[in-house]
Chains A and B, each alone.
Chain A
Amino acid sequence: MMQDQTNVADIMMGDVVRLEDVLSRDSVTSVCKSFFGLFGLPVRVISHEGDLLADVHRDQPLCNYLNTLGEGERECARTVSVVRDMEPDVETIVHPCFTGAVYRIVPLEYQGRPIGRFIVGPYVPAESAQPPASLLSVDAGIDPATACAHFDTMPRVREHIAEGISAHLKGVLELLLFSGHRAQLASTMQVASVRENYRELAEKNEALKSSFEKLKQLDQLKSTFLATVSHELRSPLTSIIGYTEMLESGAAGALSDGQAEFLGTIRNKADQLLGLISSLLDLGRLEAKSLDLNHERIDPHALLSDLAATVVPTANQRNVSLDIRVGDETPKVWGDQVRVRQILLNLVDNAVKFSDQGGTVTVRAEDGEVDATGASGLGAALFTASRPAVVLTVQDDGIGIAEENLSKIFDAFYQIDAGTTRVHGGAGLGLSIVKQLVDGHGGKIEVTSTLGEGTIFTVALPAADEDA
């Protein structure tokens, strides 16, 4: 990891650390081979650290011969070692060999720093015709005729030409170095940028996660607060209702008409308040997922006739007619009797409330299916697990709901128009509770509406197994 970071820091300075980081041995070797093929001159490329990156040469008969002689071999090894360790600063060094050949050592520099060198040779400068005395006297056992014959087979090149072709090779290697460095920088930057982006995203995700946790805690706090307050409100209210009932029943003496009327109003408002508090409690329990449902088989006929009995007085008051029908094949509902009744009552009560005078509210119970997974995308046919259901439809021909509001009507405390609260009462809790109750039953609720024409709520609740 540390190594990695150091490299990135070097890259950020745009430097080449080692020659072999940017030059592949294969490509350097093939350039050197082509150089050797063209000019017949041996060439070696060595990094600043002393690693041999390419070595293209053919053994010279003269060198082979000298290596068979004790002193010749030692002198040869010494020369090679000196040449290999030579690192010219800026200028090329031409180093003579005792054989009369020379080595040309050319520095490779990159962005103002030495990065390596290459060695051309040994070759004999074409200018020298005869082998020097140092060759013929290197070892007592040397045969001058053999040595001279081998000397004549050494590669020969004029010095100014050797200088030119070395400059060319230097240019080619520097170009390779530049391209390699460019590619290295691009790939390192690519990876570093991706990492940096990832780091940034991870930080943002962490911040989002922590604010989400805080919001969740706040939401929990709100639910607890609602539950506590509702509970504390309900106790004194129960006493108020109880004592009002006692007064109404004459437990404290006969009442005048005015007193009875006032008590009636107190009772009425207290009931409304109790309803609201009960809703708040329900909501708190539903959100905390602590509402217990007692599942049983519910007969749709009984369900709807009980509903009708409850709603008819209100409907009559508002001059709204009710059309309630149960389909022939409708199975029984598998659910909590009290809660299913609450679902329907809420929907029908709303429908009556938002219908105009003389309007009609239609309630239907039919058989259908409920999609248990809710999947509707690609391959839905494979993933959908639908089961038999009772589909309850509540339709009114009232004011309707605008499309942009449809997605929000199931939110707690949401009122499409603040004015409706004053006209129709309610705290915007009913539909939120209905939705959570339907979800709690593993059912589904949908709404479609056209402004001015009315609204249709469709609730699909799982049907009870026939043999259950």
Chain B
Amino acid sequence: MQIDFAGKELTVKLVYYGPALSGKTSNLRAIHWLGTSNACGELMTLETQNDRTLFFDMLPITVSSGSGLKVRLKLFTVPGQVMHNATRRLVLQGTDGVAFIADSQRSEADANRESFLNLKCNLEENGIDPERIPTIIQFNKRDMDSIRTDEELELIAQRSREPIYKAIATRGYGVMQTLRGLIRDTWTKLEEDHQLEEKFGISPIRFMTEVEAKLKHDPGTGGR
């Protein structure tokens, strides 16, 4: 996080991590498409010819709070392919929260586990304690065949330390809930560490209310 006290500006970095082809870019595309035009900036993608993320995607969201505080949320994705580990580690630098996008298909369970271990390792390499960084898990691709059932995910959620979300990112289902969950958990942690309410006079509840209002699709714009 970057704090500019004079300009009353906060910049928070949120990273969408996960195995290759689990739907990280699709999440950002859906947020860009569903979010309001005055909050979401342009989605920047750095990809190869065949639409695979090469370095990262970035979506800036700016929330100007009624308290005068401006919060810039920077959403990043990482390249999921194993060979791009150095890039993943670089993108993860200075992150404040992580959304781990898992693939719900049973066949991808190993890829999910491997990517999560890689996330843990890269966080440690960047001097970030994986035990303390706000992390949520999204089980994406709920519309595919042979996926883990809802009942299984219920059981997993009961045992999981990280909040679990379900999504079909290509259709936009669940992406905003995931994003709101990620922002809420990250803000709670930042409040604990930096006493933002004391410094900027904005409570976590009020901030989340403002985020929800800002991110809610504005019918007047007719979408994008």
List A residues at the B interface (Cβ < 8 Å). 9, 12-15, 110-113, 178, 181-182, 185-186, 189-190, 192-193, 196-197, 200
Contacts and interface: CB of A to CB of B under 8 A. Distances in A.
21 contacts: A9-B93, A12-B91, A13-B74, A13-B94, A14-B44, A14-B74, A15-B11, A112-B60, A112-B70, A113-B9, A181-B44, A185-B44, A185-B58, A186-B55, A193-B55, A193-B86, A193-B87, A193-B90, A196-B89, A196-B90, A197-B86
A49 B41 CA distance: 23
A192 B62 contact: no
Interface string B52-95: 00111010101000000010101010000000101101110110
A391 to B, nearest CB: 51
B49 interface: no
A282 B111 CA distance: 55
Interface string B83-118: 010110111011000000000000000000000000
A362 B70 CA distance: 93
A196 B70 CA distance: 33
Interface string B156-186: 0000000000000000000000000000000
* Nearest 6 Cβ contacts at the A-B interface: A112-B62, A196-B86, A111-B60, A189-B55, A197-B86, A12-B93
A112 B42 CA distance: 11
Task: Output the residue of B86, B91, B94 with the most chain A CB within 10 A.
Answer: B86
Given A13-B11, A13-B13, A182-B44, 9 more contacts: A9-B94, A12-B90, A13-B2, A13-B94, A111-B60, A112-B62, A185-B55, A192-B90, A193-B90
A178 B93 contact: no
A178 B42 contact: yes
Contacts, number: 60
Interface residues of B, number: 26
B16 to A, nearest CB: 13
Contacts of A111: 41, 60, 62, 72, 74
A200 B83 CA distance: 13
A189 B56 contact: yes
Nearest to B46: A186
A185 to B, nearest CB: 7
Nearest to B42: A178
Nearest to B56: A189
A180 to B, nearest CB: 12
B8 to A, nearest CB: 12
A14 B42 contact: no
A200 B11 CA distance: 29
A12 B89 CA distance: 11
Contact of A189 (B60, B62, B87): B87
B76 A14 contact: yes
Nearest to A189: B55
